[in-house]
Structure 1
Amino acid sequence: MIVEDDSTIAQLISDNLAKWQFEPSVVTDFDQVFDQFLADKPNLVLLDINLPVFDGFYWVQKIREVSKVPVIFISSRNTNMDQVMSMNLGADDFINKPFAIEVLIAKINALLRRAYNYSDQSTDVIEHNGLLLNLNNGMAQIGDTQINLSKNEYKLLQILMRAHGQIVTRSRLLKDLWTDERFVDDNTLTVNINRLRKKIEEAGLPNYIETKVGQGYIIP
């Protein structure tokens, strides 16, 4: 994912990455950098510092709230303090403009080799219809509002979000949440669903989970 407001530079990087069999995604709406990150789930982010609306320091902090994806800053700002701030805020590397495209490609390849010894970062966060579920810390978030979830609420929300658009039966939820559902009162599931609904509604999203009578629950 390329976050660069100079369209000429962004296109140059994109064209060269495509030649190396990468799949570049170029940000053009600088209000929506984080939303595009969530939608694209990139394996690496190239991020300028001087950007419209919010600078690159802001966006790397937003990204680090939900993901360990590799981030390389590309900037004409080349003071030691800029580089120190970049690393302290979560960047993995820093390259100064002007740069040789061969050097950039080499840095990208080296960082990808190092980074993807860990698990697929696309599983760090699930987002649907304005609700974000962080799989690292079990927190949900709507806008700037964070939602503290119990263990069962977190499991319920994760199952329903992964299956969004499909009805999830009560029997499946009971089986997935409790090792032996024979010893769980069916009302326990209803109580957990209602608590989860209330928390999501209070954070700003009413009717996020729908009941399908006689069938189960669905996040449309």
Structure 2
Amino acid sequence: MKIFVVEDDQSLVKMISEQLQRYAYETFVPQHFDAILAEFEMIQPDLVLMDVNLPYYDGFYWCQKIRERSLVPILFISARDGNMDQVMALEYGADDFLVKPFSYELLLAKVKSHIRRVYGDYAQADRARQLTAGNLVYYPEALKTTYQDREELLTLREGELLSLLIQAYPEMVKREKILNKLWDDERFVDDNTLSVNIGRLRKKLSTLGIEEPIQTIRGKGYALSLAGQNQ
């Protein structure tokens, strides 16, 4: 199992890495703190340990960026012990928050717990879960969609959007429902933001070979369109 330790205190990184490596975890540290996302995508870790205070951008920023692309467990480790910091971490997509100083026994227990939840026996049922509409299949845990013999990887937001469209197929999904599901509060999202996300998903589904895969019902919402396809 690979663990990405995003922490700029080198002495702490060394101690955390030594503890984790004792239990056969492989640890990685950032080489460039302004390119955390690029390094994450290169390493493809199974879990991320993230500090809040980092050079260039804070941990909340990187947590949000990672969460747009992956469901990997993210555990914050920070000296900031205010309730609001912990709330913000969870709001940005973190799975847990550990306040410094912490015991390595507790850190290890949390790492094991999240890995067991996501990759162990507890995850077997979810890992096989799939949503289908005709020959279009979406695997939520893998953020992957397939159509006939082609495959595309999706971002987390694209996956959530496709889930809504497949579950409603062949009916329409109302614009308000999409906004509430993907952004919690539609008041802070304009139509252009939704249109951009629809456009990105539409492009990926077109790459799979589906012509005009998403129908826009003007002023109302969107619907998955597989009519005329070899479903």
TM-score range, shorter chain: 0.5 to 0.7
Deviation at 1:152, TM superposition (A): 5.0
Number of aligned residue pairs: 150
Matching residue of 1:134:
154
Matching residue of 2:77:
74
Matches within 5 A, 1:14-163: 14-116=17-119, 117=123, 118-119=126-127, 123-124=142-143, 134=154, 137=158, 148=200, 149-150=202-203, 153-155=206-208
Alignment check: 8 A CA contact 1:44 1:70 kept: yes
What CA distance in whole angstroms lies between the structure 1 residues aligned with 2:51 and 2:9?
Answer: 9
Deviations 1:100-125, CA, capped at 9 Å, x for gaps: 11110001001111122143999448
Deviation at 1:150, TM superposition (A): 3.7
Alignment check: 8 A CA contact 2:51 2:78 kept: yes
What are the ranges of 5 or more consecutive residues in structure 2 without an aligned counterpart? Answer: 129-139, 145-151, 162-195, 210-228
- TM-aligned CA distance change 1:41 to 1:119, over 3 Å: farther
What CA distance in whole angstroms lies between the structure 1 residues aligned with 2:204 and 2:41?
Answer: 24
TM-score, structure 2 normalization = 0.57
Aligned Cα root-mean-square deviation (Å) = 3.0
- TM-aligned CA distance change 1:135 to 1:5, over 3 Å: closer
TM-score, structure 1 normalization = 0.60
Sequence identity percentage: 41
Structure 1 residue ranges (4+ consecutive) displaced by more than 4 angstroms after TM superposition: 120-123
